[in-house]
DNA sequence: CGAAAGGCAATTGCATACACTTTTTGCCTT
DNA sequence: AAGGCAAAAAGTGTATGCAATTGCCTTTCG
């Protein structure tokens, strides 16, 4: 077998497979319910079945694929109900993080949060959706970290990654950027004055709104085909 | 290689390995930080390295073992800090479940919860710790299910399983059985009258108390050797 | 003509062999 | 004697082959 791997460099082979397959699921290139044949995937990426199997195992633990013994793996099918459940959980988790952040963030963390938040106002004015989405992720990550609770952090990040495929659409709604910033502003203000209850409620509402936005989008188009994102492949 | 497996029947080979290794970690037979050599484990259970590797992967996802690329797997070391973080998360998660249960449980679920809870009073009187622990698990599971949110359920069960090794000790404290029942009683009462806020607070307090009890125990003896449970081996 | 049983192809699960990385050990130099 | 380098040993990562299970298709019997 060829010794040199093609273009998907970095990390162990399994890591590459996890990223490669995971990306294709998250971007919708592989559709929910689609069968994931080990041999085909192995051939597709020019590796043996072993790393593919391990990658499928990890993706299964991440909730992106479903696996049944002796019956192979399929891209996880997320029902509207389960999706709602995940967003609901996300809202609760973010609320917890916001509460804890309001109570526990160091002076430095508060300052960094505030500064980045204020800086992001420019992105809203410019309507720079791409950049704002990046900032948005950073903002939430700061919240998760600020809770100073490793396990809460893990649970939250895990849930967020599972929701990733369904959140991309949120900023396509008109005016969402501005509203998002305003909602963030409420959260930041509450955290800065150490009002954990207010921070919690604000964070919960924020996610709930995102949830509704995504639900609207999902209702129209349960899982868009793909290619639209111009993924490498 | 021998075709017949020794006495650890049921499920695929990987499942058996997960159970076998996981049990040894949870019971303390394998100590935190201990190296888990793939070849040795494979030899020990008379299987090849392949299922052992997959089992280690799953246990890693469960948080019971830690894995570093090219450096093998070790039994996860849980710091006092991380442990506190997990209990804290558990308290929050149980609070959410209790709140949702108060709002969403069907009449049937409420009845079943109440009946089982009342029945368990006998176990307290008898001081039947083993049986009470079983009931206790059932009680909490009912709470998790009653929330009618699949994802919350998953997060909660996952967290509980990670805490399993540290909870066994809680009922060794004198009078803990009675107090536990009384705390459950507060939760049940709140749920029965649909008072979600009260149910949430009661559940949170309940876990916090368990946390403290375990912390006391853990402080004295971070991780007891083993054998004491007489695990099959 | 339909249904059930048996066989065949396809795919997963496990075992083993090989390659690459890390760690240890022993020898040589300073 | 101590430190460093190199080679071997140990252990993980990947590839490949074989066994076992599943699902489908065919065949046969009611």
B7 lies in a domain? no
How does residue A21 score in pLDDT terms, banded at 50, 70 and 90? very high
Pair B18, B95 in one domain: no
Q: What average pLDDT does this structure show over A64-92?
A: 94
Nearest CB to A89; choose among B58, B88, B151: B151
Query: Residue A193 maps to which CATH number?
Result: 1.20.120.530
B84 vs A174 pLDDT, higher one: B84
Nearest to B150 among A54, A82, A151 (CB): A82
Whether B172 has a pLDDT exceeding 70, the answer reads no
Tell me if chain A has a CB within 8 Å of the CB of B143.
Answer: no
- How many domains would you assign to chain A? 2
Mean pLDDT over A114-142 rounds to 92
* In a domain? residue A4: no
**Nearest chain B Cα distance for residue A122, angstroms:** 36
Contacts of A212 (CB under 8 A, 6+ apart): none
Footprint of strand D on the protein (CB under 7 A): A 1, 12-14, 47-51, 54, 70-71; B 3, 35-39, 49-50, 53, 67, 69-73
Size (chain B), residues:
233
What does the alpha-carbon distance between residue A175 and residue A122 come to, in Å, rounded to a whole number? 15
Among the partner-chain residues A54, A86, A151, the one whose CB lies closest to the CB of B57 is A54
3-state secondary structure of B66: strand
Q: Which residues, at least 6 apart from B228, have a Cβ–Cβ distance to it below 8 Å?
A: B28
**Chains A and B: how many Cβ contacts under 8 Å?**
52
Of A192, A203, A163, A156, nearest to B85 by C-alpha is: A156
Q: Are residues B146 and B203 in the same domain?
A: yes
Nearest to B85 among A12, A69, A149 (CB): A149
| Across B134-152, average pLDDT | 96
Whether the CB of B67 is below 8 Å from some CB of chain A: the reply is: no
In 3D space, the residue among A96, A157, A198 whose CA is nearest the CA of residue B89 turns out to be A96
Residue B2 lies in a domain: no
Same domain, B120 and B192: yes
Q: Which residue has the higher pLDDT, B134 or B228?
A: B134
Among B18, B97, B151, the strongest candidate for a mutation testing the A interface, having the largest count of A CBs within 10 A, is B151
Three-state DSSP at B72 gives: strand
Residues of chain A found within 8 Å of residue B88, distances taken between Cβ atoms: 149, 151-152
B12 close to A (CB below 8 A): yes
- B198 assigned to some structural domain: yes
Task: Tell me, yes or no, whether A193 lies in a domain.
Answer: yes
**Token pair listed for A177:** 């950027």
> Do A88 and A152 reside in the same domain of the chain?
yes
Cβ-defined contacts of A199-204 (< 8 Å, 24+): A199/A98, A199/A99, A199/A101, A199/A102, A200/A95, A200/A96, A200/A98, A200/A99, A200/A102, A201/A95, A202/A98, A203/A91, A203/A94, A203/A95, A203/A97, A203/A98, A203/A99, A203/A143, A204/A91, A204/A92, A204/A94, A204/A95, A204/A98
Q: Which two tokens stand for residue A7?
A: 């273009």
Q: How far apart are CA A50 and CA A98, in angstroms?
A: 42
A1 in a domain, yes or no?
no
Residue A91 shares a structural domain with residue A180: yes
Best residue of A97, A103, A155, A203 to probe chain B, by most B CBs closer than 10 Å: A155
Flag whether pLDDT at B55 surpasses 80.
yes
> Which residue, of B29, B56, B75, is where some domain finishes?
B75
Q: Is A100 exposed, middle or buried (0-12, 13-18, 19+ CB in 10 A)?
A: buried
The distance (Å) linking the CA of B73 with the C1' of D10 is 15
Question: Are B122 and B166 members of one domain?
Answer: yes
Nucleotide closest to B73 measured between CA and C1': D12
Query: Comparing C-alpha atoms, which of B153, B98, B208, B83 is closest to residue A149?
Result: B83
Residue A80: the pLDDT is: 87
Q: Whole domain around residue B41: which residue ranges?
A: 13-75
Q: In CATH, what number is assigned to the domain containing residue B37?
A: 1.10.10.10
Does A58 reach chain B within 8 Å, measured CB to CB? yes
Average pLDDT over all residues of chain A? 86
Q: In B37-143, where do the E strands start and end? A: 65-68, 72-75
CA of B58 to C1' of C18 (A): 25
User: What pLDDT, on a 0 to 100 scale, did the predictor assign at position A39?
Assistant: 96
Give the CA-to-C1' distance from B70 to D25 in angstroms. Answer: 47
Give the nucleotide at minimum CA-to-C1' distance from A41: C11
Burial class (CB in 10 A: 0-12, 13-18, 19+), A165: buried
Of A211 and A70, the structure prediction assigns the larger pLDDT to: A70
Is residue B232 in a domain?
no
Domain assignment present for B18: yes
pLDDT at A9: 52
The answer to whether A82 faces chain B, any CB pair under 8 Å, is yes
CA of A162 to C1' of D7 (A): 48
Residue that the structure tokens 């990040």 belong to: A157
Residue at which a domain ends, from B75, B92, B112: B75
Say if residue B117 is in the same domain as residue B70. no
In angstroms, rounded to a whole number, what is the distance separating the alpha carbons of residues B153 and A110?
A: 32
Q: What is the per-residue pLDDT for B56?
A: 97
One-letter-per-residue 3-state SS of chain A: CCCCCCCCCCCCHHHHHHHHHHHHHHCCCCCCCCEECHHHHHHHHCCCHHHHHHHHHHHHHHCCEEEECCCEEEECCCCHHHHHHHHHHHHHHHHHHHHHHHHHCCHHHHHHHHHHHHHHHHHHHHCCHHHHHHHHHHHHHHHHHHCCCHHHHHHHHHHHHHHHHHHHHHHHCCCHHHHHHHHHHHHHHHHHCCCHHHHHHHHHHHHHHHHHHHHHHHHHCCCCCCCCCCCCC
Name the residue among B57, B96, B159 with its Cβ closest to that of A151: B159
CB atoms inside a 10 Å sphere around CB A169: 18
pLDDT above 60: residue A8: no
pTM of full prediction above 0.95: no
A92 and A26 housed in the same domain: no
User: Residues A121, A172: one domain?
Assistant: yes
Q: Among B49, B75, B101, which residue terminates a domain?
A: B75
Say yes or no: B37 contacts chain A, CB-CB below 8 A.
no
Contacts of A88 in chain B (CB under 8 A): 149, 151-152
Whether residue A127 is found in the same domain as residue A183: yes
Q: Is B233 helix (H, G, I), strand (E, B) or coil?
A: coil
Is the pLDDT at B186 greater than 90? The verdict is: yes
Q: Quick check: B156 and B113 in contact, CB under 8 A?
A: no
Same domain for A27 and A118, yes or no, is no
In a shared domain, residues A54 and A135: no
């Amino acid at each position: 077998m060829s010794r040199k791997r093609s273009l998907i460099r970095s990390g162990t082979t399994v890591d590459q497979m996890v990223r490669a397959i995971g990306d294709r699921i998250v971007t919708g290139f592989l559709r929910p319910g689609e069968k994931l044949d080990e041999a085909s995937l192995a051939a597709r990426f020019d590796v043996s079945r072993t790393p593919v199997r391990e990658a499928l195992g990890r993706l299964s633990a991440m909730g992106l694929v479903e696996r049944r013994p002796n019956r192979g793996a399929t891209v996880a099918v997320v029902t509207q109900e389960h999706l709602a459940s995940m967003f609901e959980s996300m809202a609760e988790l973010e609320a917890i993080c916001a509460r804890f952040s309001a109570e526990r963030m160091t002076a430095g963390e508060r300052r960094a949060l505030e500064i980045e938040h204020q800086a992001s106002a420019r992105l809203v004015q410019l309507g720079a959706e791409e950049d704002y989405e990046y900032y948005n992720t950073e903002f939430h990550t700061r919240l998760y970290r600020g809770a100073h609770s490793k396990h809460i952090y893990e649970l939250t990040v895990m849930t967020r990654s599972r929701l990733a495929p369904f959140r991309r659409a949120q900023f396509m709604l008109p005016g969402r950027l501005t509203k998002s910033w305003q909602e963030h502003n409420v959260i930041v203000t509450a955290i800065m004055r150490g009002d954990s209850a207010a921070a919690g409620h604000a964070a919960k509402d924020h996610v709930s709104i995102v949830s509704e936005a995504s639900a609207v989008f999902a209702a129209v188009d349960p899982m868009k085909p793909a290619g639209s994102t111009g993924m490498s492949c």
